[in-house]
């Protein structure tokens, strides 16, 4: 494996030249800004929301391939958002990643059992 393969993009770039669309959902403005900048620099198309309710409003028009959502947010948390996405016919196949400070095995199991495809622990 060469240097480029070891440090390539974590998220898929899509087949046939298409770039996945991503929705970032986090109540921390700094986290949203850093993730948005990093992913835009890699060429991804992005939208961002500060909580689950705002994400639902964005999702009425935006059809992301990937949703990266914080778990713990006011109003509507990432678990509730994941359930909403999984029950929405047009969005149910979106790849859903929970991003959280919760690092217990029970938390990861609960998140994945809710319907998340992946679980990333914040540092």
Count CB-CB contacts under 10 A for residue 84. Answer: 17
User: How far is residue 52's CA from residue 55's CA, in Å, rounded to a whole number?
Assistant: 5
Encode pLDDT of 69-120 as tens digits.
998 998 899 999 999 999 999 999 999 999 888 777 887 787 788 899 998 8
In sequence order, what are the residues at sequence separation of 6 or more whose Cβ sits closer than 8 angstroms to the Cβ of residue 121? 100, 101, 102, 103
The stretch 41-58 carries a mean pLDDT of: 94
User: How far is residue 39's CA from residue 76's CA, in Å, rounded to a whole number?
Assistant: 24
Output the pTM of the full model: 0.82
Tell me if 66 sits within 8 A of 97, measured CB to CB: yes
User: How far is residue 82's CA from residue 41's CA, in Å, rounded to a whole number?
Assistant: 26
Model confidence at 6, pLDDT cuts 50, 70, 90, reads very low
pLDDT of amino acid 9: 45
Residue 68 pairs with which residues in a beta bridge? 24, 97
Tell me if 59 sits within 8 A of 85, measured CB to CB: yes
Query: Domain 19-121 classified CATH 3.40.50.2300?
Result: yes
User: How far is residue 109's CA from residue 101's CA, in Å, rounded to a whole number?
Assistant: 14
């Amino acid at each position: 494996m060469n240097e480029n393969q070891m440090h390539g993009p974590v998220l898929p770039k899509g087949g046939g030249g298409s770039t996945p669309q991503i929705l970032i959902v986090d109540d921390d403005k700094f986290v949203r800004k850093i993730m948005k900048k990093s992913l835009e620099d890699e060429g991804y198309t992005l939208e961002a929301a500060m909580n689950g309710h705002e994400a639902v409003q964005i999702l009425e028009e935006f059809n992301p391939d990937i949703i990266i959502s914080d778990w713990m947010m006011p109003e509507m948390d990432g678990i509730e958002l994941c359930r909403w996405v999984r029950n929405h016919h047009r969005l149910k196949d979106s790849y859903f990643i929970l991003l959280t400070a919760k690092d217990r095995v029970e938390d990861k199991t609960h998140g994945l059992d809710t319907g998340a495809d992946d679980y990333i622990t914040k540092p």
